[in-house]
Amino acid sequence: MREIINYHYKLEFSRGNEMVFDIQLDKETLDLVEVQSDYPSWTKRGEFGCKNLTCPLIDSDACPIAKVVYKQINSFKNIVSTEPVNATLTTDERSFNKKCSIQTAVASITGILMATCGCPVFSKLKPMVRFHLPFASLEETEYRVFSMYLLAQYLRGRKKLSQDHSLQTLKKLYDEIQDINLLAAHKIQELERSDATINGLVILHSFGQLVSFELEDNDLTSLENLFKDWLL
């Protein structure tokens, strides 16, 4: 019997209603445990429009990211993105709580789903999902991304695989992630269904852009200052 990692989100609105989202991941693979469902034709890779060359799917297959988009716009289609919520995430280890806009909560939920849905681009972010930090700041996100990537390079070295300590491969990965985020946002705009979902994606896209800018400028001064005792 496989072990499951549980993420339980509860979003409480000021008018008294609440929304609950239970996300389950296979503990060994970190793949999303999906409930079988029917999806509209636009979720097929060819119609969704993803052109990523690393994806093994053919145009008639359902795109994992498109399936996430479909589920999210159905969940949040009648909600204004700036509406305040009391968001609580309960994991198997602890609970996190934040009073925030619904779009911030949507970004947190969507980030987990996109990394674990089966997309070969976003799957590189699975280690961050295993040690998920909801509602993270930009600085926290940068630290976690760079730490994850450099640990991956160390592990590749142990297996005699090529390594990249210049962060160029990470830059390429985040460029691909930004392309897919924009594609998803455009699809939601085209469907005109969910203000909260598109703005949640915008938050993810903005964080990804800022990570990309740091990599492009090769300016890690803000993080370097944390490591003064290591740089003697």
Total of domains in the chain: 1
Torsion of CA 149, 152, 153, 155, to 10 degrees: 160
Percent helix, strand and coil across the chain, each rounded to 5?
55, 15, 30
- Sorting pLDDT into bands at 50, 70 and 90, what band is 8? very high
Question: What does the buried/exposed string (b/e) look like for 91-116 if buried means 16 or more CB atoms within 10 Å of the residue's CB?
Answer: eeeeeeeeebbbbbbbbbbbbbbbbb
> Please, are residues 67 and 73 in contact by the beta-carbon 8 Å criterion?
no
The Cα 66–Cα 63 span in angstroms is: 5
Q: Decide if pLDDT at 21 tops 90.
A: yes
Residue 128 domain boundaries? 4-230
* Mean pLDDT, residues 165-193: 85
Residue-level pLDDT at 210: 61
E-only strand ranges, 54-203? 84-91, 95-101
**Predicted confidence (pLDDT) at residue 191 exceeds the cutoff of 80:** no
The mean pLDDT value for 6-19 works out to: 94
pLDDT digits (tens, 9 = 90+) for 31-72: 999 877 788 888 998 888 888 877 887 788 889 999 998 888
